[in-house]
Every structure is written in C-alpha cells, then in structure tokens.
Amino acid sequence: MKVVDVRFGHRRPADRVIGFDDPRPTLSWRIEDMADEWRQAAARIEVTMGGTPTVHDVAVADGMFLPWPAAPLSSYDSATVRVSVAGADGVWSDWSTPTTVECGLLDKTNWNARPITPEPFVGREDPAPVLTRRFTVGEEAANARLAITTGGIFIAYLDGRRIGHDELTPGWTEYGKRILSLTYDVTDMLTPGDHELAVILGNGWWRGNLTWAMRTNVYGEDLWLLADLRWTDNTGDQSIGTDDSWSWRASNILANDLYQGQAADTRMPLLGTIGDDPETHAVRTIAMPDAAIVPMPMPPARVIDELAARDIITTPSGRTVIDFGQNATGWVRLTVRGGRAGDTVTLRHAEVMEHGELGVRPLRNAKATDTFILNGAAEQQLEPMLTQHGFRYVEVDGVPGLRPEDITLRVVSADMDRLAWFDCSDEQVNRLFLNAVWSTIDNFITIPTDCPQRDERLGWTGDIAVYAPTAVRLLDSAAFLASWMVDVDSDRGSDGGIPVVVPQVLDGPQLTCGWGDAAVLVPWAIYEATGDTGVLADNLAMMDAFVDGVDRLTGGTHIWAGGFQFGDWLDPTAPPDNPGGSKADSDVVATAYFAHSTRLVARAHAALNDAEGAARYEELADKIAQAFRDEYVTAGGRVLSDCASVYAMAIAWDLLEPGRQFDGAANRFADIVRTTGFRVSTGFLGTPLVCPALAKAGHMDLAMRLLLERGCPSWLYPVTMGATTVWERWDSMLPNGDINPGEMTSFNHYALGAIAGWLLSGVAGLSIKEPGYRRIGFTPNTTGALSHAHARQTTPYGVIDAAWRINNGRLTASLTVPAGVTADVTLPDGSVHTVGHGNHTWVVDVDVPERRIATIRDLIDDTTLFSELRDVLHECGNPMYSGDNADVVFAGNAKAYLDDPISELPTVASSRGYCPMPELIVTAVNAFMTRHGL
C-alpha cells in the first residue's frame, strides 16, 4: 500500500509546484497497491515549513481536497508535504514522496516593482516593443524567481534564452478586476556576471481587435509590464523590478493581433539590437492597476502537440495549400530554405476548403494571416508568437518547392491532462468522440471560447453552461473553468444576472436563460466531476443571486416569461439568418432551466452542510416545477410547443408528475424522435439532454437510433463530411460542399459535442452517481445497436476502466475500480452488483426480444426495415421522395398514423393518395411488404 500523486488544489502532481495562488492549498492523493476490501480510515499529513515539520492526524475516508492543516503561507513561502494513510486496522503506510508547494506573489503590495510602459508611446499597429534591463549576478546564485505580468501579452527572455514555455500569457481575464501573474524559477539561468532581461509585449486581448465590431484598445491604449526578479548570491538578497531604470527597443515583429495575425521582418533580430543601441528608448512608470494581481490559478496555454502536414494541395487557382488533417488551434512552424533576403512569405489560415480553394468566408473580419520578410539565410525557421489561429488548412505563398516535412502545426491550448477515452464498434462514433475532445482543446486556451478562428472567440456563457459536464470528463479542466468563474462572478449584476460573454465585451449582465444559468451549471459540473466542495463555496453567493434574481423577476408566479432570450439556439429548423428561431417556446425553456438551476442550488447548499439553505431552495424548486406543470403541461403529458427540447428538459429534470403525465410525455417524446426520421431537431440548450432523456424515458433504442443516424441534421453527418471537430451548425457545410450561407458559421464549436459525455455514460455505461466519482454506475448498453464499447476515465481516485462486448447472445462486461470508489453494476439479466476496488468481470446472457411488426410505429422502430423502406421510396420514381431524405418525408407523413396497422403502410406512404402519382408509391410499398411478409 502506498500513497501517490499528492496534489495541491487542482494542480497536476509534481515534485515542486511554484507560483501557487492560495495560501491554504487543499490536499488530495491517491492510493495504490492496497489489499482487497481495504478502506482508508485515517491520514497523517506532515507539513515542513521553514525547516520545521509538523504532523497532523485526520480521520478521513479518502484523500480528496482536504483543508490545509498548517499555518497559511505567504508570498514566496513554501511547504513540503508527505502523507501516510491507515485503514481500520491502524497499520500505517510508508510516507509518500515529498512534494513542495510555493506561493507566488499573493498581493500587489508584495511586488518590488512598478508597471512601466514605453516612452514615447508605442501604438497598436507599431512594432512590438522589447522592454529590457541589464544587471549583474554574483557567485552562488540561488532561489531566483521572476514574477511577471502585463497589460497585453508577453514573452520573456534572459540573455536571449526564452524563460518558460507558456504562450499568450498572462491570458485573458476581466482585466479591470483581475490580472494574472506567472512565477518562473530562473535559478539555473543566473550564472555569475552580466545579464539582460528582455520582455516582448504584444497587443493580445488588452488592445487588439475584439468582437465582430473589431473593437480595439478595450482595456487601455498603453501596453505595460510589471516584473519582479529576486535571487540570492554571495553578496546577499538581490532584486530588480520594473522601474524607470529600464529601457525599450523595437523587436522584429512589425504587427501583431489575435484576429489578424502577425508580421515580422526577420532581417532584424527578434529582440532588436542588443547592447549600445542608439534606438533604445526610456520608459515611464505608471500607477499600479486598480485590478487585483494574483498568481495564475489555472494551467497556462502552451504548445501541447505538433501535427505533421498530411497533404500538399495545388488549388484550381494554382495556390499551394497544406492540409494537416485536423482542425486545431495554434500556428505553424515553417522551415524555408534558400529564400532571398527581402522576399515575403505569407500564410493564410482556414478551417475548410470550399470547391477546391481556401474557405475564408466564415472568418468574417479576421484576416488570420501571418507574413514574414526573409533574411536570406540558407535555412530559417518561421513561427509567430503573438497571435493564434483556428485552422486545418494553410495557404502558403512565397516558398517554392515546399515539402511536407518543412511545415508543422503547433497546437496551442491550456496545459490540461486528457481524462477520458472512448471506443466502440462504430468508427464514426469514435471519431465523433474525438471531435469533441479536439473542440474542447481548441477552445480552452485561456477562457472557454465559442470558437477559435473568426472575429469572435468570446467566452459565451451559454455554450459552456451546457457543455461543462462533458468538458470536465474529457479534460482536467476544473482549475481552468474555476478561474473563469471568478471573472463571471466579478461581472455579476445587482439583479444576479451575468453577461452573455465573460470577459464582458458585449452588453452588460442580464438575466438570460441558459446563458445566465452558467452561474449555477458550471460550478456544479466541476463539483460533480471532482468532489471539490470549495468550488461550490467560492461560487455559492453567485448561484444564489442568479436564482433569487430570476425568482424576483417572475413576481411570485415562478414562471420565467418574456424578456430577451436566446432560446434553443441554432435549432436546425431555424433559418440561417435567424439562429434563435427555435420550435421550443422560450418561456417553457426558461422556466425549465429555472427549475433545474434552483434544484442544483439546493444540492449545493446540502453539499456544504447548509440544511436551511438546502430546504429553502428545494421548496422553491418544487414550486417552480409545479408552476411549470400547471402552465405548460397537460394531464396527459403534452408540453407546450410540443418539440423534442421541451420534452427532454421536462423528463431529464423531473418536472413531470409520475404516472400518466410522465408516461404520456415519454411516449410523445419518442414519437417526435420517430417522426423526424431520427434526425436531431434540437439546438444548443436541448441537444445535451435528448439522448439521456430518451434513455430515462425507457427508449434507449431510440436514443441509439438518434445517435447513429448519418443524415443531416445528426451528430454523425459532419463526420461523414470529414469533420475533425464539432461544428457550430448541424449543417455548417452542406452536402454539396458549400459552406452554410449563414453569416455565423464555425467548424469548431464544442456545444453540440456534449453528446460525448453521454457516449461515456449512456453508451459505454459509465456514469457518476456521487460527486468526484466516489460512487459510479456501470450499465452496459445492450440495445444491439453496437457490439462493444469501452470507456477509460481518469478520476481523482485513479483510472476507471469499463468495457462490454456482446457476442452470440452473451455479454462480457469488465470493470476496473480504483481505491475509494464504489460501483453499482446493473446487468441485462436483471442482476445488480455493488463492488469496490479491483478488477471485475461478468458474463451473462442477453435476450433479444423478437420484434413484431404490427403498426406503422413498429416498422419505424425496426432499423433494418425502415432503412430498406427509405431506399424503396427513394427509388420508386415519385418526386415526393426524390431527395436524400425519403425517410424524413415518410416519417413526417406518418405522424398522425403511428398506431395504424401495418396494412395501412401503402396508404400512409402515399399521403392517403393526396400527392402526384400515388400509384408509384403504392406499387413499390406493396412489393416491399410482400418481400417481408407484412
């Protein structure tokens, strides 16, 4: 038995964590190599501060987010921790490997520096400035730390060597209220003698283009730098901070913008001329910002992967385009050989090709173009550093004889570990899951953005509200999202509303369904995936304020009606120019979300042991649910606006009375799915709930039909079109290869990829039953739609591995459970098993009920027959079924006749004769029925 992976807060386990943001870090750990049935009963935590160890004994059943047991840390304080655990027998394990946490500068008053800005003024379109300071280091330098942040983005160098490997730092926050700083250990770089610290400043989000209105200078006109370098050497403690003794010079980066790209003249050194440079200028100090300056609490953006060129394309117009085979975020590294000094290389980026050429229209005003003036070297490497693109394809101009090995896509994202893997017997479903992973990676750079490519890239609250439960399963994104929630809370309005984008660069805060619910749904998703109640405690005031604000808005009716709402955004039946024109009534959707968020707020209070608050919000949630039923649901279960989204919400969130009302809604929901031909008919707010709600309603077979549909709109349609990320619209690209005509079209939006969470829980069968995976469920999916599925999920306790396979009527299911986790297993033979850590296997028979085709509904439910009927109708020669969606047309015609006997199939298919040439349909359908004995 051993204790491993001691972790501070949500940071990745490491021997030493520096620049920590919390003076009281929570502690977590895992246990390996324990005996069967062993359970932790106690822990012993040794904390060494200032060379003095203290031991703290705690009675805890696991090692998840335990409060800091020692005195709080101060700026640059460090503590080394070891952990030992014991079971009920009182036998202690060996100590864990020591691990150290060191805080960054926790308060603005701790900085030995003042912000500085170039003088004279350097404009947004001027070359990027390099701020510099020369200094001397004595012998035996030790404990060197550089704390640094900017108004803008920075890249720091010491003697021309890059410090760290973070990108686009310090990232985007609500700069008027919170700015992040980073801390670097530069001890190994401080040799005795003279040195130069040089920092390039870029426009970034501070004053570069933002939003489709191309706003600039949103946070200020001046770039500024705040840097504090400290070390000790043989002469004592040393420190240099930014002040008026610094200077600046121009870099070789001529222009930089996140939307537009970067331009550089490589005939000049990157950092400008070093030494006695007549172009060196003074700086001036400015006041400390009003915003808090805090150590970065989230993983910084880094180059996390590199992708090789897949193909070199010559377009019909003769242009050279590189295909990397994967839509991603970042930039390219290009090697140029034999270029002449003064020649220009131009790189244009886009996500798709349209009719053989680079498809740039979806970028709108974002040029996404990098240019480099060559220096004439025999070989030189080109790479931007103060911009970011979302792309799969790069058009290269100015490099004759380009080879695939000359160019690499450098993938940039927050440095988060991947947590989940999925595979099954359908390769396109596997690709769908991977597409969701990629869209999360590509949009989680410094905030959760809607898209990484066009003139937007904003922190839309509605997108992440619906996607957060999936995001925290796919990637270790808890710290990333928790950091963003600090800004969400700081932007909260007096009525409890939050902005639709955070940081707030559009309209101010407002009470908006779905988008505003991010105040509740995101913290809850983090808690559910991690078990960290601290996230709830940090956000509880905001969660309460949002629900209370909506409650006041309803005036005691508990019905959220009227006002601005996005509704079920991007419903596939909405016209391209009206993405909010959904079938789902906005008041129904808003009230359902109101009920759901209120229920989660009650659970948050309960998790924090606030019984009074829990009871208050439970009562309110009950009242909202009752008001929802009274206003919008008939006794028989019909929900106003009668579409898939409203039924999914009502069923998934327990808004219906059990019995007749629930059963009626479940059956009506199922029929809607059938009569849309198993095409997706929901938008952003409804889509994540459809398959889980169908399964909850007893229609797992229909959920699988919906999942596996290839026609448009469906989850797999983009996969059939070659998508490598999740699209914003179900039909972002039309079947003929045209880009959707709507102005708003992205090929890298994660919201509709929330289905990936259900692939883990519904298809592979691995669900979370208690927060942090303390208790899980494992229910193999035995509908017969797939022959096997496998999920591998990294949790705070370790790796859970769940797999099932059906072969010749026998199910083999296997489950690996780490220490601290309890699993409830439900098998198709009706048996239920509760197991603890270890490897478990079951083999049971699977009964496949014989399906009797008695009604039109039965026919639609038979995958094979319905598919063949679609082909029969398409080929019968009747124009009504001439398109690619004959199944959808038939299903729509059958809407009122699902209970009719199968003998009525020719009549139903021919619209009861009210169509041109009905005899063509009747003849073809009769032949079909004869073949199958119907």
* Contact between 473 and 524 (Cβ < 8 Å): no
> How far from chain centre, in Å, is Cα 816?
27
Contacting residues for 338 by C-beta, under 8 A, at least 6 apart: 378, 379
What number of other Cβ atoms are within 10 A of residue 611's Cβ?
10
φ, ψ dihedrals at 484, nearest 5°: -60, -35
State yes or no: is 456 an active-site residue: yes
| Tokens read off for 900 | 């009719």
DSSP β-ladder status, 301-308 and 407-414: antiparallel
**Neighbouring-strand partners of residue 48:** 53, 80
* Contact between 358 and 347 (Cβ < 8 Å): no
Catalytic residue among 102, 167, 528, 728: 728
Burial class (CB in 10 A: 0-12, 13-18, 19+), 850: exposed
Burial class (CB in 10 A: 0-12, 13-18, 19+), 634: middle
State yes or no: is 379 an active-site residue: no
Please give the Cα distance from 596 to 574 (Å, whole number): 25
Calculate helix-pair angle for 461-474, 518-530, nearest 10 degrees.
0
Please give the Cα distance from 409 to 404 (Å, whole number): 11
* Contact between 221 and 153 (Cβ < 8 Å): no
Calculate helix-pair angle for 918-931, 863-875, nearest 10 degrees.
140
Please give the Cα distance from 402 to 406 (Å, whole number): 7
Which uninterrupted H or E stretch holds 102?
A: strand 99-103
Strands (E), 781-917: 788-795, 798-807, 810-817, 822-826, 832-835, 838-845
| Farthest-apart Cα atoms in the chain, separation | 101
Whole-Å CA distances, 418 to 112, 324, 794: 38, 21, 8
φ, ψ dihedrals at 394, nearest 5°: -130, 125
Please give the Cα distance from 173 to 653 (Å, whole number): 33
Determine the 3-state secondary structure of 169 from DSSP. strand
What number of other Cβ atoms are within 10 A of residue 275's Cβ?
7
Please give the Cα distance from 339 to 378 (Å, whole number): 7
242-272 burial, b if ≥16 CB within 10 A, otherwise e?
Answer: beeebbbbbbbbbbbbbbbbbbbbbebebbb
Contacting residues for 578 by C-beta, under 8 A, at least 6 apart: none
Catalytic residue among 102, 456, 528, 709: 456
Instruction: DSSP for 704-739, please give it.
Output: HHHHH--SSSSSSHHHHTT-SS--SSTTSB-TTSPB
Contacting residues for 793 by C-beta, under 8 A, at least 6 apart: 419, 420, 473, 760, 766, 773, 799, 800, 801, 802
| Tokens read off for 655 | 């808004």
DSSP 8-state assignment for residue 415: -
What number of other Cβ atoms are within 10 A of residue 116's Cβ?
27
The dihedral of CA 679, 685, 686, 690: what is its sign? positive
Please give the Cα distance from 473 to 480 (Å, whole number): 13
Please give the Cα distance from 533 to 28 (Å, whole number): 13
Place of tokens 């390769």: 427
Radius of gyration of the chain (CA): 30
The set of catalytic residues is 456, 728
